Amino acid sequence: MRVPVPDELLPAERLGRVHFVGIGGAGLSAIARLMLARGVAVSGSDGVDSPTLERLRDLGARVHVGHDAAHLRGPEHAVDTLVVSTAVREDNPEYLEAVAQGLRVLPRSAALSAVMAGRRVLAVAGTHGKTTTTSLLTVALQAAGADPTYAVGGELAQTGTNAEEGSSDLFVAEADESDGAFLVYEPYAAIVTNVEADHLDNWGTEEAYRAAFDTFADRVDPDGFLVCVVDDEGAAALAARAAGAGRQVVTVGESPEADVRAVDLVFDGTTSAFTVLDGGTELGRVTLQIPGRHYVLDALAALAVGLRLGLAFDRLRAGLEGFAGTRRRMERKGEAAGVRVYDSYAHHPVEIAGDLQAARAVAGEGRVVVAFQPHLVSRTRIFGSAMGEALGAADEVVVLPVHLAREEADPAVTSALVADAVPLERGRVVEAPDLAGAARELADRARPGDLVLTLGAGSVTEVGPMVLDLLGSGG
C-alpha cells in the first residue's frame, strides 16, 4: 500500500504516540528503536512473534502479535500517529481504524525523516550494496569518534541491532529507492553505490528509475557532497550529470579517473585487501574481513565520506577492518561434515554474480553449491533469465519457487524461468518444491570442502540451518 507523504514533515517529538503496523520489519523496527530512545511512546503489531519484537518490548514498546483494530481503541491504546510500510494491505484493520479515527498516517519514509530532523544526514543509496555500505560507514565513523545515530536495513554484527542513537549530529541512513522513499530525505552527503534497473513494478521503466537517482542527487545539501562509485556505469553517469549541475562530487573506484581509488586488490579466503589512493596520494592499505570486490567498493565509498568529513584515515581504517558483517550479507551460518554454509540476501542478477564471485574465493578448492529463491513475481518476470545466467558461476544449483512477498502468484512466472536459464548441464540444476526439499538437495549434493550458499531476499534464509542439521545428523 502506498501512503502519501504529508506536506509538513514533523520531527519525531511532535508525532505524539506512534503505532507501527509491521513493527518487526527491518525498516520500521529501526525507526521504532530510535523513537523509543528519544522518549516517544511506541506501540506496534506484526504478523508473527520474533526476537525483534521481544527486543522492542524490552525497550518499552507495547507490541502485539496479529493485527486488530482494538489495538488502537480505548484510553490505554490511544494513538496519535500510525506508521505503515508498503507491505501493509489496504484492508489492514489497524490502518482502517486509523483512517476512521482521523489519525495522522505516515509511510516509512516520512517516519524516518521524523527521526532525521535536526541532524546532518549521510544517506546511502544504490541498486545494490546499501545495507553493507551503510553498515561500513557506521562502524568507520564510530571508530573515528564521530558516534553517529544510524538506521540500517540489517543487523550490525558489532552491535546486534539495526539502529542506535548516537551523541553527534550525524545520522547515517540507508536510503531505499524501491518505493521512492529516498526522495523524501534531504541529506548533507550521500553515497550512490550503483544504478541498475530494478523495482520496475514501482517505477515502470528503466528511464524513470534512473531519473529518480538524479532527483535524489538534487536533494543533497549544496554545502555537502555526493559520493559515486564510478566503476558502475549508472553511477558514473549520475556523477557526471551531478557535477555538471554544480554539485560537489567525489568519485571512487578502481578506475584511474576516480578521486579515491582502490589499487592492488588481493582476495585471500574470507579477506579482501587493497591500497587507498586519495588524489594520487597513497594513504595506506586496508584489509577487510569480508570477501569480494563489491565489498571493497562499498568500503571505499564509506571511507571517502569519512575522509571528506575531515576524519583521520587510520581511525576510519580501523573501523572498516574490524567490520564483522551484517546479517544475511555473506553471513556464515556454520559448518558440518566439512561443508561450510553461508547465507546472503542477493536477489538481483548483479548481486548474485558478486556473491558467487566472493563464494568462489572463500571455497578455495571446494565447490560452490547454491540454493536460490527468486523474489517477487515482477522481478522474476523481468530478470529471471539473467538470474539463471548469473547462477551459472556455481557448480550445483537448486532453485526454489518464487517468493511472492507483497504480490499475487502468476502461473506464467515460475522458478522454471530461472532454472531453464542456468548454463549448467542436466543434473547440476534442479528445482525444489519447498524449503525442506531444497535443504535435502543441498545436503545430498555437498561434499567435504564445499561451500553451500543460500541466496534470496525471502524465506530461503531458513534453509542453511536445515542443511547443517542434515549434515550433522549424517543425512
Question: Active-site positions?
Answer: 130-131, 174
Residue type, 128: H
Q: Report the distance separating Cα 86 and Cα 225, nearest Å.
A: 30
Residue matched to cell numbers 540444476: 429
Residue 453 · residue 368 · CB < 8 Å: yes
Q: Grid coordinates in use for 396? A: 550445483
Q: Grid coordinates in use for 28? A: 520500521
DSSP secondary structure letters along 11-68: -GGGS-SEEEETTTSHHHHHHHHHHHHTT--EEEEESS--HHHHHHHHTT-EEEES--
Give me the sign of the Cα torsion angle 15, 17, 21, 25: positive
Residue 357 CA to chain centroid, in angstroms?
Answer: 19
Strand order across the beta sheet in which 368-372 lies? 331-336, 339-344, 451-455, 368-372, 396-399, 429-431
Q: Tell me the HSE value of 186 on the side-chain side, using a 13 A CA sphere.
A: 8
User: DSSP character for 183?
Assistant: G
Phi first, then psi, for residue 109 (nearest 5°) are: -60, -40
Q: Grid coordinates in use for 397? A: 544449483
Phi-psi region of 377 (alpha: psi -120 to 50; beta: other; left: phi over 0): alpha
Q: Report the distance separating Cα 78 and Cα 285, nearest Å.
A: 55
Element (H, E) at 189: strand 189-192
Closest by Cα among 94, 71, 74 to 84:
94
Query: Residue 78 burial by CB count (10 A; 0-12/13-18/19+): exposed, middle or buried?
Result: middle
User: DSSP character for 473?
Assistant: T
Give me the sign of the Cα torsion angle 136, 226, 130, 355: negative
Phi first, then psi, for residue 348 (nearest 5°) are: -110, 150
Residue 110 · residue 48 · CB < 8 Å: no
Residue 466 · residue 435 · CB < 8 Å: yes
Calculate the alpha carbon distances from 445 to 368, 397, 415 in Å: 10, 10, 20
Q: Report the distance separating Cα 463 and Cα 434, nearest Å.
A: 10
